[in-house]
């Protein structure tokens, strides 16, 4: 059996051993972290590369391609508007946004039309603007059944009369 003095000596020896090991080896990373390293001389950049701009060829789209793009976007927006108006859980702002997008793409189509097709398109545009004016009324007074029917009729007339293959462009 060991006496209490022997236990104290053993504990003191172990603590001294641990302290000695941490002093000699354990704090290297800590010393490295807080040791100031002198910076070398600043290197002056003598050579500054100058990049030559690359000139890209301008993409030229024909008026027929632009018209087809507007026509395709009209299909997408009419489909989305039909989904929103059919559910009646969409917000009025989203419905207005869809109709405004349809109007914007239709204006792009009108700008490329000539002759009697342009006159028909302007009449259809007036119907579209009139349908958009339903949102000037308060929400309780709007007739969504009439709006849905009118938008369906406008969609039918637009896709029947203004196909890209059937119109004369500028």
Residues 19 and 91 in one domain: no
Number of neighbours of residue 55 by Cβ within 10 angstroms: 6
Residue 144 located in a structural domain? yes
Dump pLDDT digits (tens) for 146-169.
Answer: 999 999 999 999 999 999 988 877
Residue 40 located in a structural domain? no
Q: What pLDDT score does 1 carry?
A: 47
Task: Say yes or no to pLDDT of 88 above 60.
Answer: yes
Sign (positive/negative) of CA torsion 82, 83, 85, 91? negative
Q: What pLDDT score does 28 carry?
A: 66
Chain Cα centroid distance, residue 47: 40
Whether the Cβ atoms of residue 70 and residue 62 lie closer than 8 Å to each other:
no
What SS3 class is residue 169? strand
Structural domain for 129, as ranges: 63-161
Q: How far apart are CA 88 and CA 95, in angstroms?
A: 10
Residue 51 located in a structural domain? no
Residues 149 and 103 in one domain: yes
pTM of the full predicted structure?
A: 0.64
Could you give the residue ranges of the DSSP H alpha helices within the chain? 4-21, 28-34, 63-87, 92-110, 115-132, 144-161
Residue 98 located in a structural domain? yes
Q: What pLDDT score does 90 carry?
A: 63
Q: How far apart are CA 95 and CA 89, in angstroms?
A: 11
Residue 110 located in a structural domain? yes
Which of 22-31, 123-132, 136-145 shows the lowest per-residue confidence on average (mean pLDDT)?
22-31
User: pLDDT band at residue 17, thresholds of 50, 70 and 90?
Assistant: confident
More confident residue, 60 or 49: 60
Residues 84 and 152 in one domain: yes
Residue 147 located in a structural domain? yes
Which of 10-14, 40-44, 68-72, 99-103 shows the lowest per-residue confidence on average (mean pLDDT)?
40-44
Whether the Cβ atoms of residue 134 and residue 147 lie closer than 8 Å to each other:
yes
Residues 97 and 20 in one domain: no
Residues 19 and 67 in one domain: no
Q: What pLDDT score does 96 carry?
A: 92
Residues 135 and 81 in one domain: yes
More confident residue, 120 or 22: 120
User: pLDDT band at residue 48, thresholds of 50, 70 and 90?
Assistant: confident
Q: How far apart are CA 125 and CA 147, in angstroms?
A: 15
Chain Cα centroid distance, residue 75: 21
Give the total number of structural domains in the chain. Answer: 2
Task: Say yes or no to pLDDT of 129 above 90.
Answer: yes
**Closest to 69 in 3D by CA, of 104, 26, 36:** 104
Residue 35 located in a structural domain? no
Residue 12 located in a structural domain? yes
């Amino acid at each position: 059996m060991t006496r209490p003095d022997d236990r104290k000596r053993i504990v003191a020896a172990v603590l001294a051993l641990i302290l000695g090991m941490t002093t000699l080896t354990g704090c290297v990373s800590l010393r490295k972290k807080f040791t100031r390293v002198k910076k070398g001389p600043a290197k002056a950049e003598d050579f500054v590369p100058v990049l030559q701009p690359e000139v890209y060829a301008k993409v030229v789209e024909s008026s027929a391609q632009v018209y087809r793009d507007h026509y395709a976007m009209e299909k997408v927006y009419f489909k989305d508007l039909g989904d929103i108006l059919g559910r009646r859980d969409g917000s009025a702002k989203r419905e207005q946004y869809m109709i405004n997008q349809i109007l914007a793409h239709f204006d792009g189509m009108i700008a490329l039309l000539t002759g009697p097709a342009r006159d028909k398109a302007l009449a259809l545009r007036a119907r579209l603007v009139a349908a958009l004016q339903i949102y000037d009324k308060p929400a309780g007074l709007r007739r969504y059944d009439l709006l849905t029917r009118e938008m369906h009729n406008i969609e039918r007339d637009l896709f029947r009369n203004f196909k890209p293959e059937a119109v004369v462009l500028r």
